[in-house]
Structure 1
Amino acid sequence: MNWHEHWAAALKAWGRFTKVHDPLYCQSTLDAREAGLTGSFAMFRLDDRTVVLDMQSVAELGLADMPVEVMAHEIGHHVLCPADLADNARLLARVRRGIPGLEGFAPLVANLYADMLINDRLQRSRGLRMSTIYERIATAHPTPLWTFYMRTFEVLWSLKSGTLTRTEITEDIEGDAQLCARLARVYATDWMRGAGGFAALCFRYLTGADEGALADTRKRVCVGVVGDDAHIPGLTATDDEAVIHPALDPQVNEFAPQEAPADDKPHPPGEGQFREPFEYGQILRQLGVKISDETAAARYYRERAAPHLVRFPVRTKPLSTEPLPEGHTAWDIGEALEAVDWIATATRSPVVVPGITTVQPVLGTTEGQERDKRPVDLDLYVDSSGSMPDPRRNVSYLTLAGAILALSALRVGARVQVTLWAGAKQFLTTDGFVRDENAIMHVLTGYFGGGTAFPIHMLRRTYIDQQRTGPTHIVVISDDGVDTMVRMNDEFGRPGSEIATRALASAGAGGTLVLNLWPGAEEKIRAITPGWDVHRVSEWQDLVDFAAAFSRRHYERSNA
């Protein structure tokens, strides 16, 4: 059967104006695997919106004569659920909350949920034979999860028990299937809200489940993948809406309490608004994005920093580059040809003899009327000692504040040097002052977790061993361990206090110590770090507000 002839009918099942790329028909399972389809017979690629079909597996499952049903189902992932990458990520995150401790099964549960919604729509509203598909792909030894799932379809479509199920239906399975069928109808047009409840129903069937047996279940659902480098915005924010078991959901169960249990109520504003970096990375990987912990952390903090980015301060200076003609001088062979003043040369002699009659202009400079804006470079030092969180696992407000400062500086053309530091000889730094955002985020998202010893040698190398060519502001983010900057000596025995004082003077645009201190402790720090601005925060979260207001406060004052 030529499936492509039925593609228009599959599209029409979702409306006259539905447009999706033509399917990719893979004649063998090997070809399908090369196209990214593994472990199933069909998928919808969310990154390029393409249906991929393993025609060999389709034939083996006995579905060769059901092209409209199979392809219409895949189109449903584009039209109904999850529709796009962002909603797919939110769906997966909501499912993870419904199966605590079993988050590894979230992709399977999310796929089962999406398939249920799509198939119910196609069976009831479009008259397609979705139940026949499940009859043909039935297995003689289904898992409890698959039995529960099939019993749900029997309830949804008023089918006789045993039409799709192949084992005994226990009271628990029957009760869960009834709730699940009700949930599918209640949340058919608001499917995101019902995802957590569906996951909660699946929880008991996943507990202690055999991975090998569930692999057979995975073969009977379609899958969706995304590109290796897909960017999914909005994933750092968590979903505060409560995940309620359908038995306790008054919209699903009329006998349930009208109010959700206190523990399930949404968090008040300001609490739990963002997920942790490790969970962010896990969700990306479960979506199919091949990404390292370091890259995931960099994307996480970029997204968290974006709303707080501000224009980094600049300084103005007189321009001295307007040319002032001062006469001519001889031009000789070996000098730049474009430097020759041909009019003056021809005026001097009609016969042009290189090196004899050729001349070039002599230009001086005069101070311009306009003023040039010079971005203030940023030299950032972030504490990564054992008292600080690992930014790749948990939210580090030091890293977030550093990202806000550094990315703001890059916005207006400033150059940034970032140094991550902990104990002695534990430091990671960019290759000097750079404009490479990836290199900066690589340093900021690193972690040592060692002792506390400020890298005083970095101040010496940057400001004493060489001359800085432009104004630079030094920012140190730490706690009371910053006293090692002046209390310790460098590797040559030079006092840190002397190096810090000279570095501050050489930087030319001031320095700020942003420290998490108890009340009153900042006076002690000010006493041992004369000339530095000391900004105390009582909680690490306050670093975000500091970083966002940094350029407006500190630099406006320093320019004045």
Structure 2
Amino acid sequence: MSQRPPRIPPEDVAKSWRDALALWDVRVQLSPPEPHVAFAPDASHAQEPLAYIDLVKRQVFVNFKLLEAMEATGSLTAVLAHEIGHHARFPHTLGWDAELRVQEQRLVPGLRQSLTNLFYDLQVNEVVGRTHAEALCAVYRGFQRVQGGEMSALFFFYLAIYEELWGLTPGSLVPPAQLEPMERRFPGVRAEARMFAQTFYALPDGKLQFLYFCATFIRYIEKPADLEFSLPLGGDVSAPDVDDLDAAIHGSSRWDDAMEEAQEQGWLEPLSTRSKEKDALDTIHRVTEHLPGKGDGKLRRALVAKHYKRLVDPHILKLPSTPSQPEPYLRTTPQAWEYGDDPNSIDWTLTVLSQGHLAAVSPLRRELEADLPPPSEPGVPSVEIYLDTSGSMPDPEHSLNAMTLAAQVLSASALRKKATVRGIVYSAYRKPLVSPWMYDEETARDFLLSYIGGGTQFPFDVMEALSRERPDALRIIISDSDFLWNLSAEKDLTPVLESVRRSRLVVAVLALPDELRARKVLAPLLRERRFRLVLVRWPSDFAKAAADLAQALLEN
């Protein structure tokens, strides 16, 4: 559904664009504004953005229809200047925005909607408001008319700051009828808005500004988990990706000096009484919990995988000389493409090279088929890892799971020796998860983050079947005392013993405090020359034990 042409003449739009660029005195690679096309045909004006920049197309869009409904067409220059300010000055990078999102979740735990857009708007509007304050006021007044309903305490305080910043009478932007009720709910709100306007813009750097911003605004967020707000100039800041957030989560030490100064100023409580988040996995949970589109947990899973990789790397001493990740799919033999076939299967490069002028009328198609794993280095076996994910150990996405970390160390060690790896994640509550043979670390790392929970039942039948399918593989069991109970419950150990005899080696890495009991229960297996027992006294020793085992078994 296209939007009707704006009532603002094209020459006025062009002039507003030039004036907005002149305000920042910068050269930007952005196209002049175009009319916004509604994202949802049935959405109301207030549900659509007023203006934004599509960074892929480098195109500025303005919702002229909403601007007219807000009776703020005269504010077009200010709106465009606001958008250019986000692009040219605030935020500087997506990495910076990621750092702010990490810090706000530490300062305001459980925050449902990020405050970073509010923060950037305060920075941008201070500059734009030096010459276009009244135009910005028209936008905020018009937004209230279109939005309707009672103003939240958060938005009230936000607009009260602009009243103080621009020397306006109280009630010029906020509803006059809410002045007294808001003062009763939040005593001193006007004085705090005045203090904020005097302090925020005088702070020397963005880190201190953001800490002061969070420490002040938290008072007006009654239920962080329920917070949901919209802004007339909101939605114009791009969200950071997984690499930006990962770097921010693991680089938070850069904020230590700013944190100390914020505590000295009295904005934040001292570290001794304020909870300081030290667990990166919990930080990942906080940062991703409120993000849109997190339903399937892909962003969290990717961040968790990067965290475990950091923990794995120090335990692996030897890297391959020429690390590579093989292409998981290969092209099949070309065939003639016919009407009704999938257009995505057309290989246009091959078609043009072989068909010449007939390429458009006689394309060739090639399907994709899975590539076979590359062979292991001479002497390096295929490795099967049986990972216990019962309830005795935590979900690795929320707390550090020592057994999962050990499995990741073994997997990465084998893959860096050009071995192939298969994972079997088991518990007692459902059928074990069995991966295909894997030959790149990212795939293996993601699979080994799987978790079932509940009780423990080792899949002896699965190991017996897989030992027939791939004899002479190295099989490693990672568990605790539950493995002893499972083995004791087996009435016939013949299939288990046959699995061991077919394997190159079966190693049980178990967290056990009682070695004598373990050797008594495992006596039938320990008599087999292809079975080994590795005892781990403390969960924190799992990763080192896995690294030592990998070096002993996989190093030539």
The TM-score normalised by the length of structure 2 is 0.70
Q: Secondary structure at the match of 2:140?
A: helix
Q: Secondary structure at the match of 2:62?
A: strand
Deviation at 1:149, TM superposition (A): 1.0
2:250 to 215, 225, 237: 237
Structure 1 residue identity aligned to 2:160: R
Give, in whole Å, the separation in 2 of the partners of 1:48 and 1:375.
Answer: 50
Stretch moving more, 538-547 or 168-177: 538-547
Structure 2 residue identity aligned to 1:479: D
Q: Are 2:396 and 1:391 equivalent residues in the alignment? A: yes
1:175 to 169, 172, 191: 191
Aligned to 2:351: none
Deviation at 1:434, TM superposition (A): 3.4
Q: Are 2:26 and 1:16 equivalent residues in the alignment? A: yes
CA contact (8 A) 1:380 1:476 kept: yes
Aligned residue pairs, count? 471
Once superposed, what is the RMSD of the aligned Cα atoms? 4.3
CA contact (8 A) 1:239 1:273 kept: no
Aligned to 1:480: 481
Deviation at 1:381, TM superposition (A): 1.0
Structure 2 residue identity aligned to 1:19: Q
Give, in whole Å, the separation in 2 of the partners of 1:175 and 1:402.
Answer: 57
Deviation at 1:89, TM superposition (A): 2.9
Instruction: Quickly say closer, same or farther: Cα 1:66–1:125, change in 2 above 3 A.
Output: closer
Aligned to 1:506: 502
Give, in whole Å, the separation in 2 of the partners of 1:147 and 1:459.
Answer: 64
CA contact (8 A) 2:212 2:267 kept: no
Segments of structure 1 that go 5 or more residues without pairing to the other structure are 315-370
Rg larger in structure? 1
Give, in whole Å, the separation in 2 of the partners of 1:49 and 1:540.
Answer: 51
Give, in whole Å, the separation in 1 of the partners of 2:377 and 2:318.
Answer: 15
Deviation at 1:122, TM superposition (A): 2.8
Please list the CA deviations of residues 497-549 of structure 1 after superposition, one character each: whole Å capped at 9, or x if unmatched: x54444344332x3433333337579648954525444444443443444556
Give, in whole Å, the separation in 2 of the partners of 1:26 and 1:58.
Answer: 11
Aligned to 2:326: none
Give, in whole Å, the separation in 1 of the partners of 2:22 and 2:127.
Answer: 14
Deviation at 1:67, TM superposition (A): 3.0
Q: Are 2:461 and 1:453 equivalent residues in the alignment? A: no
Structure 2 residue identity aligned to 1:551: A
Aligned to 2:286: 279
Q: Secondary structure at the match of 1:59?
A: helix
CA contact (8 A) 2:211 2:262 kept: no
Instruction: Quickly say closer, same or farther: Cα 1:394–1:175, change in 2 above 3 A.
Output: farther
CA contact (8 A) 1:297 1:391 kept: no
Instruction: Quickly say closer, same or farther: Cα 1:133–1:425, change in 2 above 3 A.
Output: closer
Please list the CA deviations of residues 366-406 of structure 1 after superposition, one character each: whole Å capped at 9, or x if unmatched: xxxxx964643221111111212123444433334433433
Instruction: Quickly say closer, same or farther: Cα 1:136–1:39, change in 2 above 3 A.
Output: closer
CA contact (8 A) 1:398 1:543 kept: yes
Instruction: Quickly say closer, same or farther: Cα 1:178–1:55, change in 2 above 3 A.
Output: same
Give, in whole Å, the separation in 2 of the partners of 1:52 and 1:520.
Answer: 70
1:378 to 367, 383, 388: 383
Q: Are 2:117 and 1:96 equivalent residues in the alignment? A: no
Give, in whole Å, the separation in 2 of the partners of 1:412 and 1:536.
Answer: 25
CA contact (8 A) 1:312 1:409 kept: no
Deviation at 1:146, TM superposition (A): 2.0
Q: Secondary structure at the match of 1:234?
A: helix
Q: Are 2:95 and 1:86 equivalent residues in the alignment? A: yes
Please list the CA deviations of residues 416-438 of structure 1 after superposition, one character each: whole Å capped at 9, or x if unmatched: 2111111276411114x234767
Aligned to 1:222: 234
Q: Secondary structure at the match of 2:73?
A: coil
Deviation at 1:133, TM superposition (A): 3.5
Aligned residue runs from structure 1 range 381-460, under 5 A: 381-423=386-428, 426-431=431-436, 433-435=437-439, 440=444, 443-460=447-464
2:305 to 288, 302, 306: 302
Q: Are 2:211 and 1:201 equivalent residues in the alignment? A: no
Runs ≥4 in structure 1, deviation > 6 angstroms?
31-34, 46-49, 125-128, 227-230, 242-248, 311-314, 436-439
Please list the CA deviations of residues 3-37 of structure 1 after superposition, one character each: whole Å capped at 9, or x if unmatched: 35544543454443443466553155647989xx9
Give, in whole Å, the separation in 2 of the partners of 1:190 and 1:32.
Answer: 43
Structure 2 residue identity aligned to 1:507: S
Aligned to 1:66: 75
Give, in whole Å, the separation in 2 of the partners of 1:445 and 1:378.
Answer: 17
Give, in whole Å, the separation in 2 of the partners of 1:186 and 1:522.
Answer: 68
Q: Are 2:158 and 1:120 equivalent residues in the alignment? A: no
2:151 to 135, 142, 163: 142
Give, in whole Å, the separation in 1 of the partners of 2:390 and 2:224.
Answer: 41
Aligned residue runs from structure 1 range 512-531, under 5 A: 512-518=507-513, 524=519, 528=523, 529-530=525-526, 531=530
CA contact (8 A) 1:381 1:476 kept: yes
Instruction: Quickly say closer, same or farther: Cα 1:10–1:462, change in 2 above 3 A.
Output: same
Aligned to 1:165: 174
Stretch moving more, 373-382 or 436-445: 436-445
Aligned residue runs from structure 1 range 255-294, under 5 A: 256=266, 260=270, 262-264=272-274, 271-275=278-282, 278-283=285-290, 286=291, 288-290=292-294, 292-293=296-297
Structure 1 residue identity aligned to 2:492: R
Structure 2 residue identity aligned to 1:282: E
Q: Secondary structure at the match of 1:147?
A: helix
Q: Secondary structure at the match of 2:478?
A: strand
Aligned to 2:492: 494
Segments of structure 2 that go 5 or more residues without pairing to the other structure are 1-7, 321-375
Aligned residue runs from structure 1 range 23-34, under 5 A: 25-28=35-38, 30=40
Give, in whole Å, the separation in 1 of the partners of 2:294 and 2:61.
Answer: 20
Give, in whole Å, the separation in 1 of the partners of 2:285 and 2:499.
Answer: 37
CA contact (8 A) 1:311 1:551 kept: no
Give, in whole Å, the separation in 2 of the partners of 1:511 and 1:407.
Answer: 18
Instruction: Quickly say closer, same or farther: Cα 1:259–1:303, change in 2 above 3 A.
Output: closer
Give, in whole Å, the separation in 1 of the partners of 2:379 and 2:132.
Answer: 65
Give, in whole Å, the separation in 2 of the partners of 1:14 and 1:521.
Answer: 76
Q: Secondary structure at the match of 1:218?
A: coil
Give, in whole Å, the separation in 2 of the partners of 1:49 and 1:519.
Answer: 65
Q: Are 2:466 and 1:462 equivalent residues in the alignment? A: yes
Instruction: Quickly say closer, same or farther: Cα 1:454–1:265, change in 2 above 3 A.
Output: closer
Instruction: Quickly say closer, same or farther: Cα 1:547–1:210, change in 2 above 3 A.
Output: closer
Instruction: Quickly say closer, same or farther: Cα 1:504–1:474, change in 2 above 3 A.
Output: same
1:111 to 102, 113, 117: 117
Structure 1 residue identity aligned to 2:301: A
CA contact (8 A) 2:288 2:294 kept: no
